[in-house]
Structure 1
Amino acid sequence: MAEVSNEEEDDKAAALEALLEQFREPEEPRKKANPLWIILALMLAVAGCWLAMKVTEGTMMLSKITAAPQTMKPAKVADRSLAKNSPKFSVETYVERCRRGMTPQQVRWIVGDFQKAGLDDMRVEKVWQLVHDFQEAAGSEKGPGWMDPDMPKLAKSEAMEIGWQQRTWYLDALADGLSLDVWQRRQAKERCGVHLLETEVEFMKKQPEGELHPISEAEAPPYAALVNPSHWLKNEEMAPWRLVDLTDAQLRITWHDWIMSRRDGSTGSTAYDSDYPWFDSGITAMLNPLAAESPQIGDFSTGDAPSKIDGAGSILPYTYGQDFSNPGNLKSEVMACHPAQLKILLLLKPDLAATLMDDLEASGD
């Protein structure tokens, strides 16, 4: 009886399924996905991510240049730690460092870093040779087509790269001599970067386009504004007190007070000059930043003034106590400098790098 009952149940289920099948809508066959659409969607997604990254990167770079440094706050624990642990500047520390001078090994390290940075005279001379060849060829009787058209492009590329590296070296010298903290370093980098970009814009405006043609001196791109520190340092925007918001103590070891007094006549001299330049690579005076009131300027004793390192004290002054008792000897005069003064000297006179290395090798130092 149980078997008959089971068979009846199966028959009823089969009949019900057949009845339901009559009322079902026929299913449309599924279409196979086109692999090309999948690939296209993937490519669009990747392109969207890349574009978003570029927009973010550009916004971050713009904010770094335009943001007011004094309103910036440390974003990372490491940055806050660095800001907290930055060395505190003191005039006494700077004076003592000047008096101590440098060892031959310290001189060798700085000169070696300068050469590794590609700032020696050989590389800069390459740019000037390219510029000379371009001007000579463009104005020659042989006609503009005589010169390789890639030459001005090469000169431009080299000049712009050297320009950035020179200013990086200059900022490092300021950071060393003035003991800039992490926020002052960032401020100096941002302000210097803005000024350099303006210089590059003016430079690019004068880049030759199309066929080569004779050019005059006035038409030539301003290469000196990019790769000649003695030229671009004359712009007061490059003065330490314009690049950085210095403390009163830091200002005392710059030429700021002396220059301002010359401009407003407060030195008591009737020969004051409101346009007195901030930068003078030929200055041979020294400064006493430990004077009771404003820093006092003075001259070297007769015969004791350094004669081989003109420019070393043009940004960060010599101080009383620096031993220049062996004038006329390049190695001796350099060893009497503050490390930051040597960095400035090499920037202004890159040819001295090779000469110093030769002197150190000759003396066995």
Structure 2
Amino acid sequence: MTPKPKRWSFWLVSATALLSIGAWQAAQIAVDAKTRAMAAVKVPPKKTRSDGRKPSAKELAQIDPVGTYIARAKRGMTDQEINWMIEDFHKRGLDKDLVPDTVEHYQSLRQRQAAWYLQALAEGFSLSPSQKSEAAARLRRWRLQGDEEYAAKANEPDPITNNELKVGDRAADYAFASQWLFIGDHADPSVLCDLTPEQKRLTYQDMPSGIYRNYAHDLAADQWIMPPNATLEPKSSPVAVPDIFPLMPSQLVPPGQRSGGELAQARRLQPAQLRIILLFHREIAAWLSDSLEKNTPVVTDPLEPQAPHNE
């Protein structure tokens, strides 16, 4: 679906409003942000492809989730980190076209999606081992309930035409992570586990009013990276990326710099944020991978014969 062009007046209003909202939320979650960020730097980082270690339970208990989130957002992601995550996404089979031919295939896909989602929550909210275990158990119950419902409905005839449905005909409700995870808010971070007051400050739950919160959400959603002609599957999702993790003001890209700069936007994200983007919009993985390849300088072997250059 090709994004509709937006007028400059809308962008100016939206950008101003979003920056104001971002400043408000930043003020709410970033009390003594500088001090928090400095403290967070001293905490051993979460396991990445570069450091190769996991913080212990004792270390996790000492982590300030707000300060850690702010510090990681400010640091952004390198091209290598982005590429590593895309590789992991591909290895787990989460970037494939959703055209399974068996119920078991769907169940396996949902299991892998749930594991990826749980990893994003653990990273973004600095979940403790007990919180992660609690979230994993609740998420598993919700996933298995959906598996049973899908298995029962997969062979039911279409209620309108009475024709037999194919396995993939009910894909939207059961295979798209942005859809099945949030039917009934069962996979909302604050529902999956008991977040601490500090962790809740990383969500939109503390916005002063429902209308204001929805407006903030809509504007923030427009700031997340989206490749050209994205399919946005399914067309209407009950949840968007900003429902999970907020953007910091430092991560926002001015409207005039957004065209053709989606890779630059990805570099402003932190791993937990990019995980959710890939999970909700799997086509972005291939698109970002292509952008990374185009931005990689070609190094030629000085000993390799070069083609003659004709003036």
Q: Tell me which interval the TM-score lies in, with the shorter structure as reference length.
A: 0.5 to 0.7
For normalisation by structure 1, the TM-score amounts to: 0.55
Aligned match of 1:256: 205
How do 1:94-133 residues align onto structure 2 when only pairs under 5 Å count?
94-122=69-97, 124=98, 126-127=99-100
Match of 2:226 among 308, 317, 321: 308
Residue deviations 1:308-365 (CA, integer Å, cap 9, x gap): 3795434101012225243131211111112111000000111111111111111117
Assess if the C-alpha contact under 8 Å between 2:155 and 2:165 holds in 1.
no
In structure 1, C-alpha distance between the alignment counterparts of 2:168 and 2:290, rounded to whole Å: 36
The structural deviation recorded for 1:224 is 2.5
Aligned match of 2:142: 195
Match of 1:160 among 107, 113, 118: 107
1:238 pairs with 2:225:
no
- Per the alignment, do residues 334 and 348 of structure 1 end up closer, same or farther by CA in structure 2, a change over 3 Å counting? same
Aligned match of 2:304: none
The structural deviation recorded for 1:220 is 8.2
The structural deviation recorded for 1:225 is 2.9
Assess if the C-alpha contact under 8 Å between 1:312 and 1:345 holds in 2.
yes
Aligned match of 1:247: 196
In structure 2, C-alpha distance between the alignment counterparts of 1:346 and 1:306, rounded to whole Å: 11
For normalisation by structure 2, the TM-score amounts to: 0.63
Aligned match of 2:258: 327
Assess if the C-alpha contact under 8 Å between 1:83 and 1:183 holds in 2.
no
How do 1:343-362 residues align onto structure 2 when only pairs under 5 Å count?
343-362=275-294
Task: Identify the structure with bigger relative contact order (alpha carbons < 8 Å, sequence gap 6+).
Answer: 2
Return the letter of the residue paired with 1:338.
Answer: Q
How do 1:5-154 residues align onto structure 2 when only pairs under 5 Å count?
82-86=56-60, 88-122=63-97, 124=98, 126-127=99-100, 154=101
Aligned match of 1:65: none
Aligned match of 1:284: 219
Match of 2:153 among 192, 206, 222: 206
In structure 2, C-alpha distance between the alignment counterparts of 1:308 and 1:221, rounded to whole Å: 26
Corresponding pairs, count:
223
The structural deviation recorded for 1:198 is 1.0
User: Secondary structure of 2:250's match?
Assistant: coil
| Structure possessing the higher radius of gyration over alpha carbons | 1
- Per the alignment, do residues 158 and 220 of structure 1 end up closer, same or farther by CA in structure 2, a change over 3 Å counting? closer
In structure 1, C-alpha distance between the alignment counterparts of 2:268 and 2:156, rounded to whole Å: 49
In structure 1, C-alpha distance between the alignment counterparts of 2:168 and 2:265, rounded to whole Å: 38
Residue deviations 1:108-165 (CA, integer Å, cap 9, x gap): 111111011100033x2x22xxxxxxxxxxxxxxxxxxxxxxxxxx421211110110
In structure 1, C-alpha distance between the alignment counterparts of 2:117 and 2:224, rounded to whole Å: 22
- Per the alignment, do residues 314 and 335 of structure 1 end up closer, same or farther by CA in structure 2, a change over 3 Å counting? farther
User: Secondary structure of 1:215's match?
Assistant: coil
In structure 2, C-alpha distance between the alignment counterparts of 1:170 and 1:200, rounded to whole Å: 17
In structure 2, C-alpha distance between the alignment counterparts of 1:216 and 1:355, rounded to whole Å: 32
The structural deviation recorded for 1:202 is 1.0
Assess if the C-alpha contact under 8 Å between 1:117 and 1:165 holds in 2.
yes
Return the letter of the residue paired with 1:227.
Answer: A
In structure 1, C-alpha distance between the alignment counterparts of 2:156 and 2:245, rounded to whole Å: 42
Aligned match of 2:270: 338
Return the letter of the residue paired with 2:106.
Answer: A
Assess if the C-alpha contact under 8 Å between 1:204 and 1:221 holds in 2.
no
- Per the alignment, do residues 113 and 207 of structure 1 end up closer, same or farther by CA in structure 2, a change over 3 Å counting? same
User: Secondary structure of 1:121's match?
Assistant: coil
In structure 1, C-alpha distance between the alignment counterparts of 2:114 and 2:169, rounded to whole Å: 19
In structure 1, C-alpha distance between the alignment counterparts of 2:67 and 2:224, rounded to whole Å: 23
In structure 2, C-alpha distance between the alignment counterparts of 1:92 and 1:220, rounded to whole Å: 43
In structure 2, C-alpha distance between the alignment counterparts of 1:237 and 1:188, rounded to whole Å: 10
Assess if the C-alpha contact under 8 Å between 1:120 and 1:351 holds in 2.
yes
- Per the alignment, do residues 312 and 99 of structure 1 end up closer, same or farther by CA in structure 2, a change over 3 Å counting? farther
